[in-house]
Amino acid sequence: MTDTLAAPTLNKFEKLKAEKDGLAVKAELEHFARLGWEAMDETDRDHRLKWLGVFFRPVTPGKFMLRMRVPNGIITSGQTRVLGEILQRYGDDGNADITTRQNFQLRGIRIEDLPEIFRKFDQAGLTSIQSGMDNVRNITGSPVAGIDADELIDTRGLVRKVQDMITNNGRGNSSFSNLPRKFNIAIAGCRDNSVHAEINDIAFVPAFKDGTLGFNILVGGFFSGKRCEAAIPLNAWVDPRDVVAVCEAILTVYRNLGLRANRQKARLMWLIDEMGLEPFREAVEKQLGYAFTPAAAKDEILWDKRDHIGIHAQKQPGLNYVGLHVPVGRLYAQDLFDLARIAEVYGSGEIRLTVEQNVIIPNVPDSRVSALLREPIVKRFSIEPQNLSRALVSCTGAQFCNFALIETKNRAVALMQELEQDLYCPRPVRIHWTGCPNSCGQPQVADIGLMGTKVRKDGKTVEGVDLYMGGKVGKHAELGTCVRKSIPCEDLKPILQEILIEQFGARLWSDLPESA
């Protein structure tokens, strides 16, 4: 009897994963380095290398992007210097971007240098493993974990442990190297939801259950070109000691049951829709081997979101953290060396990154703050930027990303400077740019979100944006929505000016009394 059931056709990505696990390229790096990027197998080059965090860039062929893992956004000065040394050899091609997941991406990387770069990473305790494609992305945690006077749970150890479980201590973990799609995890420990819990596939938010401090769990938050959803409560509370096991159980259910036929529908929320929330929860419980404690009635996210820029007293008497504003997160080798040096001279040799693409230098004694503020790099990366620049975020955009419909970072900075020349804005306005509907720049969490698109103007196709508004962060976080479509970028300035004046209390400098 012949089998009449046709085997399900795998999409291109499932096929390439079935043929060879992405992590397999780890053993082939020396070979790739000898072959060079033009001669090597294209599937390895364009896709599988992403399992090591190495991204072929069609916009800059031969100059790869290297996406790190910086758990909880915390990196040492020594590690930062290693990244600077790697970039330095690439001259103007080399830069490092702080990403919207509290992480670093390096640019200009040559394939022939990868074996040596990975040896340096091993020596320095750095890793870029499983940071792209169908893997778990950098795990975010409170950027002031362990130093915030009002913190509830120090997330540093938890984030590290979850990363170690997922990546097998940075060596690569084939248990989680073939998920149906990318996956995001965030652990919030402070009162202001500084990790954007609502836009992660799994988020842990602090909550008291019967007087014990642990986390309520949210699941299924994500953005994609097709659909954007805020995470929903799983109706589960966990003790911090169970966070790693819960992540492992959810990832296992997602890996085993997640939808794989259509990549547009492969994120966790689509599986939850398909199964129903309760059966999904039961499947996770079965994997865990015990039933969840129902969620605490309320969580402890009670504050507006902070941006951590400026000088702030820590919970340790006499110490401060100093938040520096890095315009749209762009750094060069010399910046990394300078940051490493000031972290050692004035702080404890630690540097932290934020999801707003900025830097924090922690553990600066009161007696050293004023000397730190006299450093030239603090002129460049200000502790008191103007209110529009201060809250500006941007994805990579057309300079390096082949999905981009528009240029973002340079345009975002230039337009903010122009607006600030004309306008006084009494408070920060969170403006997020993203170059295409994939939403890496998170326009849906912004006060004003700008999503790249192509627009017709005077019979020509030009770069434009769809305008999002209403994103709320911190307590009662909500996603913003598209309020106006297809604005040519060249017409954007007066539109933003009007919105800032009418809805955010901005005033033209020329309308203010001279003393203002």
Binding site for ligand SF4 (CB under 6 A): 395-397, 401, 403-404, 434-436, 438-441
Looking at beta carbons only, is 328 or 343 nearer to ligand SF4?
328
* 67 among known catalytic residues: yes
**441 catalytically annotated:** yes
Interface residue with ligand SRM, options 138, 163, 167, 320 (CB under 6 A) = 138
Neighbour tally for 6: CB within 10 Å: 6
Q: Does 182 bind ligand SRM (CB under 6 A)?
A: yes
The rounded distance, in Å, linking the Cα atoms of 265 and 258 is 9
Query: Is 188 a binder of ligand SRM (CB under 6 A)?
Result: no
| Rounded alpha-carbon distances, angstroms, from residue 427 to 20, 188, 382, 500, 514 | 52, 25, 16, 10, 19
| Beta-strand pair 448-457/431-434 | parallel
57 is catalytic: no
* Using rule CB under 6 A, residue 183 touches ligand SRM: no
Nearest distance, CB of residue 452 and ligand SRM, angstroms: 13
Q: Least distance (Å) from ligand SF4 to the CB of residue 104?
A: 15
Interface with ligand SRM, residue 202, by CB under 6 A:
no
CB of 401 to ligand SF4, least distance (A): 3
Q: Pick the piece of the chain touching ligand SRM (CB under 6 A) from 81-89, 181-189, 337-345, 425-433.
A: 181-189
Do the beta carbons of residue 472 and residue 464 sit within 8 Å?
Answer: no
Residue 435, binding choice from ligand SRM, ligand SF4, none, Cβ under 5 to 8 Å by partner class: ligand SF4
Closest distance to ligand SF4 from the beta carbon of 88 (Å) = 25
Amino acid at the residue 92? D
Cβ within 8 Å of residue 166, ≥6 positions away:
130, 136, 139, 173, 176, 247, 251
Pick the closer one to ligand SRM by CB: 131 or 163: 131
For ligand SRM, which residue has the nearest CB? 224
Strands (E), 225-290: 228-229, 232-238
Helix, strand, or coil (residue 397): coil
Q: What are the beta bridge partners of residue 219?
A: 202, 232
Give the Cα separation of 106 and 58 in Å (integer). Answer: 16
CB hemisphere CA count around 220 (13 angstroms): 21
Q: Smallest gap, in angstroms, from Cβ of residue 395 to ligand SF4? A: 3
CA distance 329 to 359: 9
497 binds ligand SRM (CB under 6 A): no
Candidates 110-118, 222-230, 373-381, 417-425 — which segment interacts with ligand SRM by CB under 6 A?
Answer: 222-230
Q: Counting contacts by CB under 6 A, is residue 395 touching ligand SRM?
A: yes
Residue 442: contacted member of ligand SRM, ligand SF4, none (CB under 5 to 8 Å, by partner type): ligand SRM
- Amino acid 259 reads L
Q: In sequence order, what are the beta bridge partners of 217?
A: 204
C-beta of 360: minimal distance to ligand SF4 in Å?
Answer: 24
Any catalytic annotation for residue 182? yes
Distance CA 222, CA 201 (A): 6
- Residues with Cβ within 8 Å of residue 298, at least 6 apart in sequence: 207
What mask, x for binding ligand SRM by CB under 6 A, covers residues 325 to 344? --------------------
Between 17 and 182, whose beta carbon lies closer to ligand SRM? 182
179 vs 436 by CB, closer to ligand SF4 = 436
> Do 303 and 191 meet the contact criterion of CB atoms below 8 Å apart?
yes
Q: Which of 45, 50, 57, 67 is catalytic?
A: 67
> Phi, psi at residue 230, to the nearest 5°?
-80, 150
Dist. CA 453–CA 462, nearest whole Å: 9
Which residues lie near ligand SRM (CB under 6 A)? 55, 57, 65, 67, 97, 99-101, 103, 105, 131, 137-138, 181-182, 184, 199, 222-225, 267, 395-396, 400-403, 438-440, 442
Active site amino acids: 67, 181-182, 435, 440-441
